[in-house]
Amino acid sequence: MRISICHCLACQRRTGSTFGAQARFPRNAVETTGRSSQYVRTGESGNAITFSFCPTCGATVWYWLGQDPDTIAVPVGAFADPAFPPPKFSVYESRRHPWVSVPDDLENSPW
């Protein structure tokens, strides 16, 4: 499992927050059940992302990136667990709001 936070503008709009937090798993290690609806959008990287969301409440429950079909991402908030492990990776920090602090020990991307 890789837990990361994303500061990109698209994630900010999608989550309604200053960043998105996600846990990524090998797709073959995750079983999804129940009804879901999908929405595909193109991220700032130019890659397609398929979001699966609850057709009743609209919450994103998992998604996968077109460039990495063997990985599934789950928003950390979907676990509803305050003891969930902290992120280890940060992306799009250049788009971070200046008042958002990121732990110094996070690995980050060049974006």
Instruction: Render pLDDT for 76-93 as a digit per residue (tens, 0 to 9).
Output: 989 989 999 988 888 888
69-80 pLDDT, tens digit per residue, is 899 999 998 998
- pLDDT for the residue 28: 93
111 confidence band (pLDDT: 50, 70, 90): low
Q: Is the pTM of this model over 0.75?
A: yes
The number of distinct structural domains making up the chain is 1
* Domain that residue 80 falls in: 2-108
Edge-to-edge strand list for the sheet holding 89-91: 37-42, 48-53, 60-65, 71-75, 20-26, 2-6, 89-91, 107-108
CATH code, domain carrying 58: 3.90.1590.10
